[in-house]
Amino acid sequence: MTTTQKPLVRRPLVFSAFPELIVGESTRHGGVSDAPFHSLNLGKSTADDPACVAENRRRFAQATGFEPGMLAWSHQVHGDQILHARTPGGAEAYDALISDRPGVVLAVTVADCVPVLIYDAKNRAVAAVHAGWRGTVAGLAGKALAAMALAFGTRGEDCWAYVGTCIDECSFEVGEDVALHFPEAFKQISALAGKYYVDLKKANTAQLQLAGVPEAQIGISPYCTVRDNADYFSHRAEKGTTGRMMAVIGLP
């Protein structure tokens, strides 16, 4: 099977009951970028040709069902600041976005970090979270839900959420300096090898559940950016020179 036959975007099954929702997670297929960004690189901060990135974003938007001009995003800094996006466009230094405005499609870019997408079906509000290990330790997914509660009256029980494709525990080897930030429930220690492995998906899922999102209303990607590197970009597996995927959610 050639890369052109593989999906350009995957729609998380957890949102199946909401066909009107604009939501999706890109793969690395179906774009125009050359190696090492082949092929659907959506990251503006990479060294890729900007014209290629623009065309890739157009293709991703078309496949997902929105116009590129509807995107709201931020330059991500691995922090815990949350942007209340009332209009499309870019911002600086936010790692999560929330909105209840139709026509505003929230976006985060990733290449090992965890994208978390949230939909409050009762109040018709959305959130997109970029949670690397620092954002996970900072509890950013839970903070996004708290920000939605203040802004829109969101309750966890009314939300559906997706913990997206990222580096899985089996591939996320970290030093003791990182491992010590995580509770025992979210890491494994190989005493023989003296290595630590952190489960970012499990940690972010726990934050959603702690905020009241029912387990049955949380979807978790079965894919790993390292293990499935043929289909997804991985900063770690590709030694820092690679493209970026995008996860989006918005109201039409």
H/E/C letters for each residue in the chain?
CCHHHCCCEECCHHHCCCCCCEEEEECCCCCCCCCCCCCCCCCCCCCCCHHHHHHHHHHHHHHHCCCHHHEECCECCCCCCEEECCCCECCECCCEEEECCCCCEEEEEECCCEEEEEEECCCCEEEEEEECHHHHHCCHHHHHHHHHHHHHCCCHHHEEEEECCECCCCCCEECHHHHCCCCHHHEEEECCCCEEEECHHHHHHHHHHHCCCCHHHEEECCCECCCCCCCCCCCCCCCCCCCCEEEEEECC
Spatial separation of the C-alpha atoms in residues 244 and 107, rounded to whole Å? 12
pLDDT digits (tens, 9 = 90+) for 133-172: 999 999 999 999 999 999 999 999 999 999 999 999 999 9
Q: Is the pLDDT of residue 3 over 60?
A: no
pLDDT > 70? residue 195: yes
Taken in order of first residue, the domains within the chain and their CATH numbers are 3-250 (3.60.140.10)
Mean pLDDT of the residues in the chain: 96
- pLDDT tens per residue across span 87-139: 999 999 999 999 999 999 999 999 999 999 999 999 999 999 999 999 999 99
What confidence tier does 1 reach under pLDDT thresholds 50, 70, 90? very low
pTM, whole model, 2 decimals? 0.96
Reported as a pLDDT band with limits 50, 70 and 90, residue 2 is very low
Instruction: Quote the pLDDT of residue 177.
Output: 92
> Does 201 have pLDDT greater than 70?
yes
Q: How confident is the model at residue 191 (pLDDT cuts 50, 70, 90)?
A: low
pLDDT, tens digit (0-9, with 9 covering 90-100), for 5-51 = 799 999 999 999 999 999 999 999 999 999 999 999 999 999 999 99
Segment 212-229, tens digit of pLDDT = 999 999 999 999 999 999
Q: In the numeric block, which tokens belong to residue 238?
A: 């590709």
pLDDT beyond 70 at 206: yes
